[in-house]
Chains A and B, each alone.
Chain A
Amino acid sequence: MYIKVDNIKKKYGGREVLRGVSFEAERGSIVGIVGLNGSGKSTALGILSGVLPGEGTFTVDGVDMMRDRAARERTVGYVPQGTPLMEELTARDNLLLWYKKSDMESELERGVLRLLGVDKFLKTKVSRMSGGMKKRLSIGCAVAKRPNVILLDEPTSALDILCREAIADYLTRFREAGGVAVIATHDGAEVGLCDKVYVLRDGVLTAADGGDLSGMLSE
């Protein structure tokens, strides 16, 4: 297996939010983590990205990401919920925070930034962008290191259909290129993109395996 997540645990105060989350994924796959609001999806991705402390192991191609922060920075891209952008600056200024200028230009010409359509609003201030533009730019910023694994926290929530399609198209190509995307979601369309879906409930992750998601969540 390319990525292995084993026994991830997290407590807030005395409350156990994650009680041993484990899953695996092959190269070229999209994994969906589905759960109700407050189920711990974002916490799980936060731990895998290194933003939140937590117990357990997370390896990518045999390298322990929980211990090797430099490797994790190179290998894992993280798109947090919300907008990791500076509102007063243009898309270009925001990209330059994460990219070298030459890399940004080549990505805009024929790379991921062109695929996401960021080249079309490069000089627009973030404060004047739509939600979809912001989300595409956020993904563009998060994948500046060309990671093999991307963790996306509800990437298309509250976006219009065109934007959803642009992001879905990007994820499909990312999968075709051998990358692994892990998506935390409660959106049916995003679930449709996934090769494997897990349900997070009461801090425990269970494989959906084509079962009735609504039923599993509401049990």
Chain B
Amino acid sequence: MKGFKYFAARLKSHVKSSPAVIIVSLITAIAIAFAAFAAARSIISSEDRRLFKIGVVADMTQRYMDLAFDTMNNLDDTRFAVEFEAMEEERAKSALSSGEIVGYLVVPDGFIDAAAAAEFIPATFVTEGGEGALVQALVSEFIGVAERLADETQRSVFGADRYMYERGVKWAVRDPLTDGWALTFAEYLLARNGTLRVILTGERDASTGEYYFSAFVLLFAMLFGVGCVSHMVRRDEALPRLLFARRVGAVRQTAAEAASYFIFSFAFLAVVTLLAGAVVTLSGASGFLGGRNFGDFALYALRLAPASLMISCAGLFMYECTRSSAPAVLLQFVAAIGTAYITGFFYPSSFFPVTVQKIARALPGGAAFSYAKALFTGGAREYILPVALYAALFFFAACAVRKIRIGGESQ
């Protein structure tokens, strides 16, 4: 009963601290997200960026295939360092499953001739789907390159018209030629949307919108701990000792604190998720998140509970390890930013070396992120166990530290 009264008192103390906590957390989360995104962008655009290898399955004897490769290699000028390598389809399949390449492009026979006649046969990009944000970014880069080519082609059509005009070609000859070129170009543009088909052989990973939406809510959840420092850090052991003397042991104390802190932080996380969802829905940008509506975001917010529980337990453990505000702020801040950076909250983790990605995925932040993304893409159940295990680990670690602090040396 006393444990429950302590839980209720803790919850009340959270509620009373909430205005300051909300303001601090929101300002910090937004500021950090912008700053870190900019920093990550500049780092990733440097020479150290990761090289993405893509297989190309095509009949290399086709006309203009060299030109097509040159076009694709233009991708190197953009955000990605991409290397295309011609290979047989069987070899491409095994390279994809071993992670040697991120995907392969199957260019069908007659593709180039058909393209020249504005009769597109779609090329196919096959990928595991494990790096959804990357795949989406790559596809948009493909389209970007095509659009730049279209721009140049349009200019050349009108350039040809001007060339003929300057050399005195009569309007009656010039006009049908220019119209013909323009019409062919229009057909080319209209058919362009069907040029590339994407096939995911593995589970679908989050789209760019889903990726950053998940990253934002988890970043908020982690930085929420910074805002709570003022009322969560205990400067002496008087209250735990008095509770202990009243037969509320270290585990019951920690459980009451974890439960109240989880309810408090989850409530705010849910509100932030709903607000972000409402902004996405009302601004007409829901297409960015797979056309989801407000109800979908409400369900997403509710289903974030396990990740929120894990982050709350981790936060509680960090509070337990500190005795004053400054180290507590520092610890919470560094843990949140470090986790967010390595897990890829600010930029797709695909840009990090594969070893770093593997480590990041195994860490608590990575487990929570995988779970949050899977709430969009499906298969979230698979990630509940690691999240729950980390939550339990942090909870019992907090209990152990509490026990040590209660029984610590007194003067």
Contact = CB atoms under 8 A, between A and B. Distances in A.
A88 B17 contact: yes
B13 A88 contact: yes
B13 A80 contact: no
A84 B231 contact: no
Interface stretch (B4-12, B57-65, B91-99): B4-12
Contact of A49 (B236, B237, B245): B245
A76 B16 CA distance: 32
A28 interface: no
A186 to B, nearest CB: 11
Contacts of B407: 51-53
B406 interface: yes
Nearest to A94: B9
Interface centre among B243, B244, B407, B411 (most CB of A within 10 A): B411
Interface string B233-262: 001111101111111000000000000000
A38 B9 CA distance: 33
Nearest to A77: B245
Interface in A79-111: 80-89, 93-94, 96-98
Nearest to B15: A88
Interface stretch (A40-48, A162-170, A174-182, A204-212): A40-48
A50 interface: yes
A196 to B, nearest CB: 22
Q: Is the interface of A mostly helix, strand, loop or mixed?
A: mixed
Interface in B1-58: 5-6, 9-10, 12-13, 16-17
A88 B16 contact: yes
Contact of B237 (A40, A80, A94, A98): A80
Contacts of B406: 51
Contacts of B411: 37-43
B355 interface: no
B5 A84 contact: no
Contacts of A94: 9
A96 B245 CA distance: 17
Interface in A19-61: 37-43, 45-46, 49-53
B77 interface: no
B247 A46 contact: no
Contact of A52 (B17, B231, B238, B410): B410
Nearest to A15: B409
Given A80-B241, A97-B5, 16 more contacts: A40-B411, A42-B411, A43-B409, A45-B410, A49-B241, A49-B245, A51-B244, A78-B245, A80-B242, A82-B236, A83-B238, A86-B13, A86-B239, A87-B231, A96-B5, A97-B9
Interface of A: 12, 17, 37-43, 45-46, 49-53, 69-70, 72-73, 76, 78, 80-89, 93-94, 96-98, 138, 141-142
Interface of B: 5-6, 9-10, 12-13, 16-17, 231, 235-239, 241-247, 406-407, 409-411
24 contacts: A12-B409, A39-B411, A40-B411, A41-B411, A42-B410, A43-B411, A45-B410, A46-B410, A53-B407, A73-B245, A78-B241, A80-B238, A80-B241, A81-B236, A81-B238, A83-B236, A84-B239, A85-B239, A86-B9, A86-B10, A88-B13, A88-B17, A88-B231, A93-B12
4 nearest A-B pairs in the assembled complex, by CB-CB distance: A82-B236, A82-B238, A42-B410, A84-B238
